[in-house]
Amino acid sequence: MDQATAHPDMPQVEMWTDGACKGNPGVGGWGAWMRFGEHERELFGGEPLTTNNQMELTAVIEGLKALTKPCAVTLHVDSSYVMNGMKSWIAGWKRNGWKTAAKKPVKNVELWQALDAEVSRHTVHWVWVKGHSGDPGNERADELANRGVELVRSRG
């Protein structure tokens, strides 16, 4: 059963997200591009000192946060970190009080908690795409993330 069949009453949103970092850590940007029927929306932003993983997480958080009501979201990400975190690691982290299997604090815990809260508002179908492989949505999200980097740089 596909997502649309599973949730016919919910708005169906297709979203692509990406993060970028010039230096790691360094100046970073995030981007999200979404489609809902005939409508499209672009979001981007950035931080002066961040990491690529933080920008990848922020892109998904900000994209989901922009949805004003619960949606069925097909979410395309090119980050193995985000995909593994949401599909494999997060249940154990929550069970262990946000500690890893090695009993160490989860890195970027505030972002993971924010992402967990946003995901809980929606029905999310995760799709991993290989970055820079010609997926039009991923390429658009990458462009937006790089606009986020430029936005930060232009602020000086």
**142: Cα within 13 Å, side-chain hemisphere:** 14
Catalytic, out of 14, 62, 118, 142: 142
DSSP 20-62: EEEETTEEEEEEEEEEETTEEEEEEEEEEEE-HHHHHHHHHHH
Radius of gyration for the chain, computed over Cα atoms and rounded to the nearest angstrom: 15
Catalytic, out of 18, 47, 62, 118: 18
Q: Respond yes or no: is residue 9 known to be catalytic.
A: no
Is residue 113 classed as helix, strand or coil in its secondary structure?
Answer: helix
Q: Respond yes or no: is residue 62 known to be catalytic.
A: no
Q: Respond yes or no: is residue 18 known to be catalytic.
A: yes
CA distance 120 to 136: 27
Selection from 14, 28, 34 nearest residue 57 by Cα: 28
Catalytic, out of 62, 78, 122, 137: 78
Q: Respond yes or no: is residue 142 known to be catalytic.
A: yes
Q: Tokens 């299997």 sit at which residue? A: 101
**36: Cα within 13 Å, side-chain hemisphere:** 16
Catalytic, out of 14, 19, 47, 85: 19
Q: Respond yes or no: is residue 19 known to be catalytic.
A: yes
What residues are labeled active site? 18-19, 56, 78, 132, 142
